[in-house]
Chains A and B, each alone.
Chain A
Amino acid sequence: MHEMSLAEGLIQVVEEAAGARTVRTVRLEIGRLAAVELSALRFAFEVVRQGTVAQDAALDVVALPGQAWCMKCCQTVTVEARGDGCPRCGSHQLQVTGGDEMRVKELELA
């Protein structure tokens, strides 16, 4: 339920990057392991974008796969969720190396 705080952070990043230019699309990269509920974020974004240069902007979310280093396989593997075992050997000796980011990738301006 912190998606409102995330949306506030998001709109700040957007405003700083866009300046006075109108924003058509905000493209996000959100990892599968990131601590965010997407539908809640979309809802919160609709609230916070009002009155800003992004007030009619669409939110395009690119999902990034979860990645972890398996200490048993000595390889980077793909994981769907935290707590999952390695898809190759089943071990839980995993170090998350990617897929927990929440990033504003780019903006499409009018």
Chain B
Amino acid sequence: MCTTCGCGPGEVTVEGHAHDHDHDHEHGAHGDLHYGHGAAHSHAPGMSQEKMVAVERGILDKNDRFARANRRWLAERGVLALNFVSSPGSGKTSLLVETIRRLQGELPLAVIEGDQQTSNDAERIRATGARAIQINTGKGCHLDASMVEHALAHLAPADDSVLFIENVGNLVCPAAFDLGEAAKVVVLSVTEGEDKPLKYPDMFAAAQLMLLNKVDLLPYLDFDVAKAIDCARRVNPAIEVLQVSATRGQGMDGWLDWVRAAAGRARAERAARRAEAARKLALLEEHIATLR
């Protein structure tokens, strides 16, 4: 097992400068201490009540707080954020490059790239003309919400834009880490096995959409598309599936329509938030007027 896996201070870099994993963010009041559990409820009958402290907090509490803050930040700006996850080599970057080429001019786009090392993927994205920022996790195996928060501050995506987050190629760990995205999109290529979803259930269960990529290669493979979709639906009955070829174009129109619809929902949510804020402001002003 890799004993140095996991982010440590100084190991994670965002475009060359170190990212201190321990942000000095304010912590609200959490973990109410209450001593209400009697011996009957504790797992150590006979142990003095004062020595048991109820915590009831998720292990990923801190990441979840960052994720919630990211989600709120994105929603306030009407930004659609999608978290792309897959094995290494499924074609995520190529898919993003082709998606950007087709959507450019129509929707403002920006990308957060995640890899252990190199800026190769961010550079490929930038070559399309879209803005990108690279996160290098060093020994880390997944992006987490605090890294994304840091990247958002640097990238500053425009209002009503689309943000693609390409996670570290890994079908295991990223499943557990909410980044604040609107949806996880899992990319499975036809050069992988049909039973991937059964072997890596956590990821496919966490995804809203599965993109079956490289379908142009189907004539040369024994890949059973129906079986792959069936496997995905076993671990996630609600998962949506689209078949695409990033390099040859099949299915890309359907995928772009999916992105457009999701972006439309993000914009609508922002408009609704603003309308609500304006309504509250009007009420407040009305109330102030009556006080005069």
Contacts and interface: CB of A to CB of B under 8 A. Distances in A.
Interface of A: 1-10, 12-14, 16-18, 24-25, 27-28, 35-36, 40, 43-44, 47, 60, 62, 71, 81-83, 85, 92-96, 101-110
B207 to A, nearest CB: 13
Given A10-B59, A83-B201, A103-B58, A2 B141 contact: yes
Most chain B beta carbons < 10 A, residue from A13, A16, A95: A13
Secondary structure of the B side of the interface? loop
Interface residues of B, number: 49
Nearest to A85: B234
Interface string B32-49: 010001000011100100
A40 B1 contact: yes
A12 B287 CA distance: 45
A36 B237 CA distance: 22
B119 to A, nearest CB: 23
B53 interface: yes
Most buried by B among A3, A7, A24, A95: A3
Contacts of A95: 237-238
Contact of B6 (A2, A13, A101, A106): A2
Interface in B1-40: 1-7, 21, 27, 30-31, 33, 37
Interface string B60-83: 111100000000000000000000
A81 B129 CA distance: 44
Contact of A1 (B43, B172, B198): B172
Interface string B137-164: 0001110100000000000000000000
